[in-house]
Amino acid sequence: MELHGHPKYDAGHRARTSVFLFDDRVIALGSGIRNDDRRHETETTLFQAHLADPSAPTVLGGRGPITSLPHTERLERIPRPTWLVDHVGNGYYLAAGQTVGLSRSAQTSRDQSGARLTSADFATAWLQHGRAPRRAGYEYAIVVGASPQEMTDFTDRMRETAAAPYQVLRRDDGAHVVRDRATGITGYAVFEPGRRLAVAPVAEVDTPCMILLRRAGDALVLSVTDPDLRLYEGNDPGQYDARGRFVGGVSPFAVSWRSDPSRPHTLRITLDGVWRLREADGEVRAAVAGGSTVVKVRTVDGQPVQMRLEPA
């Protein structure tokens, strides 16, 4: 996702974020996090879960279970990868160099009507990016249903490239690319089209998109989606004037185009090598151009299109 704060709230808040799901593993990446808010810390929440039983433990990096309430701590720029297990059994792998916050305390907020105060005990963990960050980022993984021993093993394997459960091949404003070891799937979240990706076999795309790719023998199996529903093109005419200045005040949840149909779009993917299309479950065309292959995929409604290509 290319996050750009709405002008009604905070137009200066921007980030590039992605989430890749492989079986019971969730890989979350962020880059280019920036805003101008010098009063508040910018944070990425790992979890915020109700403690129905205040003694239910949170486990941090091989230490004994944390059951105290209240409890607050901050790990400043962790020198090596570590992990957490929350009280509902999800494990969190945290890459080195990040600042981690952990809290077990009573939280007070208002109910959905905004009229009544409510309070309950919660366990919360987050990554801290500081005030008015300029180019902050993050990397973490969630392992669903993991024990402390499984997270210890996961973290140990991440230290060895040949055994690592996943590898981050690219994490910048242009693209996030992750390779999952168990499935053999490489996931691409491409934010800036027209730039060389340098992660074979995908060389370039002409539209921001998401691609899942795996090799099946000599063949390539791809799933491609354009997450942009294209409900309108360019600036929202009801919110911006002809000079591109924001003049509206309507919440993004009340805009007139919210229920408009998705518009179809054909995106182009350039693959290294010479390939021919064997099968697809949507409108796909492949054409050889020199030593590369250009694949055209018609997308709509954010639905993925799957295809199989074989050497030509």
pLDDT digits (tens, 9 = 90+) for 190-230: 999 998 998 999 999 999 999 999 999 999 999 999 999 99
* Mean pLDDT, range 225-247, rounded to an integer: 87
CATH superfamily, with its number, for domain 193-312: Polysaccharide lyase family 8-like, C-terminal (2.60.220.10)
Q: What per-residue confidence (pLDDT) applies to 245?
A: 85
* Mean pLDDT, range 34-45, rounded to an integer: 96
Q: What per-residue confidence (pLDDT) applies to 202?
A: 98
Q: 115 falls in which pLDDT band (50, 70, 90)? A: confident
Q: 253 falls in which pLDDT band (50, 70, 90)? A: confident
More confident residue, 237 or 95: 95
Q: What per-residue confidence (pLDDT) applies to 172?
A: 97
Identify the CA nearest to 174 among candidates 153, 163, 190, 151. Answer: 190
> Is the per-residue pLDDT at 66 higher than 90?
yes
Q: In the chain, where are the structural domains located?
A: 1-163, 193-312
pTM above 0.85, yes or no: yes
Q: 255 falls in which pLDDT band (50, 70, 90)? A: confident
Q: What per-residue confidence (pLDDT) applies to 63?
A: 87
For the 1-163 domain, the top CATH level (class) is mainly beta
Q: 241 falls in which pLDDT band (50, 70, 90)? A: confident
Mean pLDDT of the residues in the chain: 95
* Mean pLDDT, range 100-118, rounded to an integer: 92
Percent of the chain at pLDDT above 70?
100
> Is the per-residue pLDDT at 8 higher than 80?
no
Q: 62 falls in which pLDDT band (50, 70, 90)? A: confident
d(CA 80, CA 149): 18
* Mean pLDDT, range 53-64, rounded to an integer: 93
